[in-house]
Structure formats: structure tokens, C-alpha cells
Amino acid sequence: MALLFTFFALRLVNIQVADHEKFLHLAAEKHGFKQPIFAQRGTIFDRHGEALAVNVPVRTVYADGTHIKNPAALAHVAASFLNIPEKELTAKLTTKRPYIVICSGMSELDATAMMKALEQAKLSGLYLQPGSERAYPNGKMLCHVLGFVDHTGHGVDGIEHVFDKELSGRNGYRHIEHDRKGLEIVLYRGQEEPAEDGANITLTIDMGLQAILEKQLDSAVETYKPAGATAILADPKTGEILAMASRPNYDPNHYGEATPEQMRNRAITDMYEPGSVFKIVVTSCALNEGIMTKDSVVFCERGSFLYGGKILHDAHGDYFGELSVSDVLVHSSNIGAAKIALKVGGEKYYDYVRRFGFGERTNISLPGEISGLVNPPSRWDKLTITRMAMGHAVAATPIQVMMAMGTIANGGKLMAPQLKLSSNKAGSNDDACIKREVVTPKVASDISNALAGVVARGTAMQAKIDGYAVAGKTGTAQKINPHGGYLENHYIVSFAGYFPAENPRLIGLVVVDDARLGSSANFGGLVAAPIFSKIGEASARYLDLIPSTK
């Protein structure tokens, strides 16, 4: 008896002293674990407080393997609620780990029904944890700007990606202990660190204007069946983006069904030869440097100009003689623009191309922006300066073209495009950013008057908006062949403009890629300009702008 009790005593000492840490760890694994407290992702709003990205309450289902006695029976009851094959669920539940996530994003209704079924079957081991799932109430609308959140809760594209850290917040945790039935022993609740919810973000986007933009873009796609299309609206004085859309598009609520082509934000990822819209650069350069005035005369060779061994023609079969610099813009003379560029000189012209923002990213708060392509004069051939003057031999993105046009609209300042208006995080407001002054207000005014003439009596008469003076420029360029040269009967057409011309409130751009039309009808003035007109007319009514003309 003495030997027996001596053995028990030694064993007790061994368990309580020598193996204390081992059994303490086992007890903690069996009855307690570190439960994460998930931070609530911040909400994204438009400028008027409309929610664009929200959190929908859902439940996360997790298993505690230390409470599971019969994995097969538990899987048999729960599989239909979790939409997981019974065999696969049984394998997941055959574990001794105290915390393993089985399913996330389960609706409150399904979660409650499952727990009731398990209770009736007297089974334990599956538990619920509150959480949320990202949802986009407007579906496809604004998809390329917002982006989406993947299954791990991290932003993958758009605003969700760029401001992921700010929106995500920081998760907390809680040490808890369970009794043998899996219920928390509140008295034994241990260390806890609360979660820090993510910041809410307000965008510069106006969903009223966004709806107008998307409706007209959908109508254009239905009419012209293009390979793609892009439209943007902004405030020229602040650089705030008010609406932005591309086609094709996708639903961020079902991002797994989208193709790479649908997910591409063409406004910042596609580059194209801008065509005659680019003529604002060479004319601005000539006026700002004092080389010419708006009334200086350019002889346009009556439609045929031999230079560098090649003949340059004016479009539309026009045969212009003498035109003022202003009328070179109004009538979109290729020869007039080329002659102005030759008078300015390559180095000076290249400097202004860069000053207008071409060849560099605008640094808009969206991922994937490209810088376009502008070669320096050292890489030009003899023809480049004459072709670049009319928007060829250069590649730009839609956002670059629109911000360049905004430079004329706001009196000569190149603005950085703004997408984030504010957040509820201290010190996070984004103010309007002037990148640089490109031309003087006087030069901007002269160019603006010429652009108003483009719409009033030039190549963009279909961009008119009843009651408002519109200024802008059309662009038409053949699509580049990947194997060299250009594709026959394939065009990218555009219109960039603003209104009211005398005090611009809105600047917009419409780009249509490869409309299904014959070459005789596929021009910026015939395709893109009417779309701009419809967007502008509806936007003016929405903003209740005071008419500027009768």
C-alpha cells in the first residue's frame, strides 16, 4: 500500500510540476482559442452620400474539432445548408483543431436554419461567427472605378484596391473558453483587443451624372456595335471626376464571371492616336510662345501638301487656301496644323506636348494606368512633326486627352484628376491639385473661342446643346495594325469638349472604338459628337444649369 501511494504521489508531482506546461497547453487547446474579431470594411459613397459599396451581414461557420464526436453524422445534417458535398465536408470535420473555417458568407436565414437542425439532431461542433460580405447596390454601374473585394476580404481592383488599407481597418481578437457543450464561459473570457473598423470614403463621383453617362453609352453600343467605348465627365476647375464608364463592363457582385476584356478600364489602360483633338497642343504652343497670333494666316496649300517626300491631305476633301490659326482649329486642317508645327520647331513643340500631360501618367487613384507614348525629337523622322500635329505618331489615354482639354477650359492649368473627395479619417481630404500652368489665360481664351467655333460652324456641329455654348474638338484616327501600318476601315473616333463655353461647368470625353460603320460615316463629328450632345443635354437639366444662349 505504501509503495502504491508513493507511485501515485510521484505521478501527481510529475503531472502538476514536470508536465504542467504540456497539460496546460492541451487544456487550452480543448477548451479555449483565440477568436478573431473582424473589422468592418469602410463604406464607399458618392459625393451626395449615396452608398456605392456596402457590407451585408453574413455568418462565418467554423468547426471546433474537439467537440465533434461523429463527423459523418454532422456532415450529413449540415452539408445541404452549406452547399458542400457531404463527403468533402466529412473530411473537413475530421479534425481535432479547435478553430477551422468551413464556410463564409452564409446568410443569416440559412445559418439559423442549420443550427436549429443540428440542435434537433443533438449534434455539436459547428458554430457561427458574425461577419459581413461586400456588395455593390448599383450592379454594373461604375464597376471599373469601384473594383471589387475578393473572398479574402481584400480589394482587387479600382478604388477597393487603391484604398484597401484605409478601407480594411484592423482586426481584433478575443481569448475565450468553452464548456463541454461548446458554450462560451464568459467568466473565463481572457485578453481582448477590439477591432478598428475601416474608414468610409467619399468619391467625387455624382451618381446622377453617372447614370446619364452609362445610359447614353449603352445606347451608343447598341447602335454602333463597337469593340469598346469610353466616356468621362469632370469638373475642369478642380479636376474632380464626376462620372466614368467603359464598355464592355461587368458586375462586381459576380466578378468571377467576368472576362479580362470586361474588367479593363479603358479610360486609363487603352492608348490610341487621338487624331485632331491633339491640334489644341500645337496651336496653343504657337500662341503661347508668341510665334503666331490667333489671326496669323496659314496657307493650307488647297488640300495637298508635299513634305518629306509624302503628300499630306486635309480630311473630308477640303481644299483650304489661307486660314487663320483659329480657323485651322475650326475647320480641322491637317495641313494648317502641320505648318504651324514646322514654324514652332520640334524641340519647342515636344516640350508643349509633355506640358499638356502626354507621355506621363495622370496619377489618378486607380490601378493599371499607363503613360501613353510620346517619342522625343531624337527619335523622330522627317514626317513625325507634321503627323504628330494632327494627332498621329503619338499615343494617349482617354484620361490624358480629357485633362488636356480641361487645361483650355479652366484658363491654362493642367489639373491632376481627383477621385477621392474625402474620408472620415483625420487629415485625409484631397484638395484640387494644379500640376502646372501650361498656357496663359489669354491664350486659353483664344483657343477656347476657336473650339466654340468648331461646334458652332466647324466639324463638330452635332455636339451642340440647346441653350448652351459648347466648345470642343473632334478626333478621327485609323486603328493601328499590330503588324505595322493601319487597319483599313477600322477607326477610333472621339469628341472632347466642355460647356457652357464662357464659364465651363462640365468637361467631357467620348471615345468609340471601331464602330460598325463605313469609312464615309466613321468620324468623330458624326459618331462621338452626338453622344456627347445627349450626355450634355441631360447633364445640364440634372445640374439645373442656367442657359447661356437662346
Mean pLDDT, range 83-97, rounded to an integer: 89
Greater confidence (471 vs 100) lies with 471
pLDDT at 244 over 70: yes
Helix (H) or strand (E) run with residue 477 in it: strand 471-480
Instruction: Give the residue ranges of DSSP H helices in 248-373.
Output: 260-263, 266-269, 279-288, 325-330, 334-344, 346-355
Residue-level pLDDT at 428: 41
Residue-level length of the chain: 550
Rounded CA-CA distance 420/366 in Å is 10
Find out whether 75 and 121 touch, Cβ atoms under 8 Å.
no
pLDDT of residue 189: 55
Give per-residue pLDDT as tens, 428-449.
444 468 999 999 999 999 999 9
What's the average model confidence in pLDDT over 239-259? 95
Residue 407's nearest CA partner among 239, 244, 524 is: 239
* pLDDT per residue as tens digits for the range 497-540: 999 999 999 999 999 999 998 777 889 999 999 999 999 999 99
Reported as a pLDDT band with limits 50, 70 and 90, residue 185 is low
- Rounded Cα distance between 501 and 469, Å, is 5
Which segments of 391-508 does DSSP mark as H helices, in order?
398-409, 441-457
Under CATH, what is the fold of the domain 54-135? Penicillin-binding protein 2a (Domain 2) (3.90.1310)
Buried b or exposed e, range 48-84, using 16+ CB within 10 angstroms: eebbbbebeebbbbbbbbbbbeebebbbebbbebbeb
- Other CB atoms within a 10 A radius of the CB of residue 127 amount to 21
- The CATH class, in words, for 207-543 is alpha beta
Other C-beta atoms closer than 10 Å to the C-beta of 309 total: 7
The three-state secondary structure class of 323 is: strand
Q: How confident is the model at residue 25 (pLDDT cuts 50, 70, 90)?
A: low
Return left, alpha or beta for 125; rule: phi > 0 is left, psi -120 to 50 is alpha, else beta: left
pLDDT-wise least confident of 214-228, 235-249, 536-550: 536-550
| Residue ranges of the chain assigned to CATH 3.90.1310.10 | 54-135
Chain mean pLDDT for the chain: 89
List, in sequence order, every residue forming a beta bridge with 172; answer none if it has no partner. 37
pLDDT tens profile 309-368: 999 998 866 789 999 999 999 999 999 999 999 999 999 999 999 999 999 999 999 999
Report, as an integer, the average pLDDT of 83-92. Answer: 90
Grid cell listed for 370: 499607363
CATH 3.40.710.10 residue spans of the chain: 207-543
Residue bearing the bigger pLDDT, 140 or 95: 140
State the burial class of residue 29 (Cβ atoms within 10 Å of its Cβ: 0-12, 13-18, 19+).
middle
Phi and psi at residue 413, to the nearest 5°: -110, 130
pTM greater than the 0.85 cutoff? no
